[in-house]
Chains A and B, each alone.
Chain A
Amino acid sequence: GAGVSQSPRYKVTKRGQDVALRCDPISGHVSLYWYRQALGQGPEFLTYFNYEAQQDKSGLPNDRFSAERPEGSISTLTIQRTEQRDSAMYRCASSIGGRGDTIYFGEGSWLTVV
């Protein structure tokens, strides 16, 4: 596609349910990132993939959060047993893969846990 595509755009879930957020990066982009952005704040790093390999997951808040990119393209961020504090905008981004390349962000998935 022309840009980074994320789905669903909006998700309301009950506390304790699992949610899966999907990211389809720009075609051919090797690097894929997940960030979380709270209202009025800058994005906060969660995890990063190079092809299918998860290179850095240091930003995942706890073990309820996981991410995968099994074929080096589409990625899924899964949050198990959601809590209200998980409510935020989750943004995916991708880049061609070289240091200093432009990193393109998607429109985000807005998660509300009730």
Chain B
Amino acid sequence: ELKVEQNPLFLSMQEEKNYTIYCNYSTTSDRLYWYRQDPGKSLESLFVLLSNGAVKQEGRLMASLDTKARLSTLHITAAVHDLSATYFCAGGGSEKLVFGKGTKLTVNP
């Protein structure tokens, strides 16, 4: 059964700094999703990664996938306050997605 682990679970960053969130998964997953969730809100899709070596970027966020290492990363460049949120990764070999516990990101001035 697929297990998805994110780390760190909590991340306090300073503005303008760079950091990376890691998402490890235990068995084969043919796709990897990243979502953002603001408090009390729904999940907003950020990226869908489908193949080994896939890299996608949107603004200050860049996601990559290494299927051999069973690892996806979400890199944050020059953080700004409005990136504060909880970020989830999710994977699956079928239609059933398994989510990580989430990384709560706080960007401080």
Chain A residues near B (Cβ < 8 Å)? 31, 33, 40-45, 48, 50, 55-56, 58-59, 91, 99-108
Contacts and interface: CB of A to CB of B under 8 A. Distances in A.
A12 B94 CA distance: 34
Contacts of A105: 35, 42-43, 45
A40 B43 CA distance: 13
Nearest to B35: A105
A74 to B, nearest CB: 18
Nearest to B44: A105
A84 to B, nearest CB: 22
Interface residues of B, number: 22
Contact of A106 (B42, B96, B98): B42
B82 interface: no
A41 B102 contact: yes
A3 to B, nearest CB: 8
A45 B97 contact: yes
A102 B99 contact: no
Given A101-B48, A103-B33, A108-B42, A42 B102 contact: yes
A100 B96 contact: no
- Chain A binding surface, main DSSP class: loop
B16 interface: no
B99 A42 contact: yes
B79 interface: no
A100 B95 contact: no
Contacts of B50: 100
A58 B94 CA distance: 12
Contacts of B99: 42-44
Nearest to A3: B42
Contacts of B33: 103
B95 A48 contact: yes
A56 B48 contact: no
A44 B94 CA distance: 14
